[in-house]
Amino acid sequence: MTATRVLVLNSGSSSVKYQLLDMADSSRLAVGLVERIGEEGSRLVHEPLAGPGAGGGRRERAEVIADHGQALRAVAEELAADGLGLDSPELAAVGHRVVHGGTRFTAPTVIDDEVLAEIRSLIPLAPLHNPANVTGIEVARELRADLPQVAVFDTAFHASMPEHVARYAIDAATAEKYSVRRYGFHGTSHAFVSRATAALLGRAVEDVNVIVLHLGNGASASAVRGGVCVETSMGLTPLEGLVMGTRSGDLDPAVIFHLARVGGMSVDEIDSLLNKKSGLLGLCGDNDMREVTRRAEAGDESARLALAAYVHRLKKYIGAYTAVLGRVDAVVFTAGVGENASVVREATVSGLEELGLTLDPEANAARSPEPRLISTASARVAVAVVPTDEELEIATQAYALVTQ
Ligand SMILES: Nc1ncnc2c1ncn2[C@@H]1O[C@H](COP(=O)(O)OP(=O)(O)O)[C@@H](O)[C@H]1O
Ligand SMILES: CC(=O)OP(=O)(O)O
Ligand SMILES: [Mg+2]
């Protein structure tokens, strides 16, 4: 029997998303999510899509899940209950989303002790993400020691950014000493979506220039020229750039000095403020765009402000990346907000007609899980909604590596 299955683990700061895929036909055998890890109300939602458990629908396990280790053991149990356990000889690899790969990892990598140590050493550059990724790898190795574990890095797709884009304009020796440069994140999504957009336009990826707006809890924009990333909005860490659910995105770095000197705040307090209590949450008290748009439509002032700030930042990046690319073929919305929030798309594109962007309101309002155009037929620049599939992309890259 050839092993064609890949288990993909996407461990976030307080969640684990997972999918078991069969790469023989790219089908999904099981999908699930553990959320609110280490918080009140943690739960696991599991859905078998193939095998003996298929057809049984979603199962939910509401229990205290204290850490990522416990979460992954619970996931392994659920898969085993469906005859899809980690002991299956059909499993070819586990693919891990690893958020920060530093300058060393610019391609998918089979994880050995040394690679794991290096991923661990990058924790200071992604303190919200890499610790969970490390635990995911450790537990998966524990559960199935002989199985190849593959790391697929969020930063990899952005490694192609030119040096003058990746560098901050600070003292070169200091930057070198502390690895201070722009790395970029969500690369797996930006890569997948930029390729899918070329397919949607019916053109070769080498021939199209796209601006990808990945708007999830974390959000980032990228400029992709002919399939190669030339600029992205996140930097040293996933804090730079767009207004996000709980992160501030761009601000004057002097805000930090000011809060420390005048506000008496510690570095850790400011870190937590900017990463966890800012963005939409900071502006209006809600980080979920569904809630923000609902409140804004009901006339709530702070929600309107938060939405306006979110959209304004997006417009700035679309303008900037239009200048970077010179010619733009498509602006693409993806991830939770990008795929679902027609209000955000409408507000973002509105007023950008001079840049060649015009929405078709009906197409924008329509809901579909398929990649689709939402611009008018005559618009110079296509506007599209392209659902991202980081899990499929991770599985594809991991499987290619272990079967090459
Ligand atoms: N129907 C919707 N309308 C508006 N926003 C939505 C909708 N569905 C999901 N979202 C937003 O998508 C966000 C999550 O996006 P997702 O890509 O799943 O994020 P992540 O992978 O970073 O957890 C949620 O915070 C929510 O605000
Ligand atoms: C890198 C990053 O911001 O990831 P997420 O959107 O999953 O938080
Ligand atoms: Mg995401």
Cα dihedral across residues 77, 79, 84, 85: positive or negative:
negative
pLDDT of residue 119: 97
Q: What is this structure's pTM?
A: 0.96
Q: How far is the CA of 336 from the centre of ligand 1 (A)?
A: 3
285 in Cβ contact with 302 (< 8 Å): yes
CA-291 nearest atom, ligand 1: 27
pLDDT of residue 15: 87
b/e map of 119-130 (b: 16 or more CB within 10 Å)?
beebeebbebbb
DSSP string, 338-379: HHH-HHHHHHHHTT-GGGT--B-HHHHH---SS-EE-B-TT-
Give 293-299's long-range contacts (Cβ < 8 A, gap of 24+).
Answer: 293/341, 293/343, 293/344, 296/343, 297/343
Active-site choice (154, 286, 300, 389): 154
Q: How far is the CA of 35 from the centre of ligand 3 (A)?
A: 13
> Which amino acids bring their CB within 6 angstroms of ligand 1?
216-218, 245, 288-290, 335-337, 340-341
* Tokens linked to 60: 């939910």
CA-185 nearest atom, ligand 2: 1
Annotation-wise, does 336 bind a ligand? Answer: yes
Residue nearest to atom 19 of ligand 1 (CA): 216
Q: Is 399 left (phi over 0), alpha (psi -120 to 50) or beta?
A: alpha
Residue nearest to atom 6 of ligand 2 (CA): 218
Q: What single-letter amino acid sits at 324?
A: V
Q: How far is the CA of 292 from the centre of ligand 1 (A)?
A: 11
Measured distance CA(325)–CA(250) in Å, rounded: 21
Ligand nearest to the CA of 218: 2
pLDDT of residue 1: 67
pLDDT of residue 123: 93
Residues near 25 by beta carbon (within 8 Å), at least 6 away in sequence: none
Measured distance CA(335)–CA(340) in Å, rounded: 8
* Tokens linked to 184: 């970029």
Q: How far is the CA of 359 from the centre of ligand 2 (A)?
A: 28
pLDDT of residue 55: 81
Q: How buried is residue 174: exposed, middle or buried, by Cβ count under 10 Å (0-12/13-18/19+)?
A: exposed
- What does R_g of the chain's alpha carbons equal in angstroms? 21
| Residue to mutate (ligand 2; options 185, 280, 390; most atoms within 8 A of CB) | 185
Residue whose token pair is 């693919």:
95
> Which amino acids bring their CB within 6 angstroms of ligand 2?
12, 99, 129, 154, 185-186, 216-218, 238
Q: What single-letter amino acid sits at 332?
A: V
Residue nearest to atom 8 of ligand 2 (CA): 218
Half-sphere exposure of 302 (CA within 13 A, CB side): 10
pLDDT of residue 241: 98
**What is the four-CA torsion angle of 292, 294, 295, 301, rounded to 10 degrees?**
80
* Tokens linked to 335: 């991830």
Ligand nearest to the CA of 189: 3
Cα 108 to its chain centre, rounded Å, is 16
pLDDT of residue 192: 98
304 in Cβ contact with 185 (< 8 Å): no
Mean pLDDT for each 10-residue chunk of the chain (404 residues)?
92 88 96 90 93 85 88 93 90 97 96 97 90 92 93 98 98 97 98 98 98 96 98 97 97 98 98 96 97 98 98 98 98 97 98 97 96 97 97 97 94
* Tokens linked to 384: 């599209």
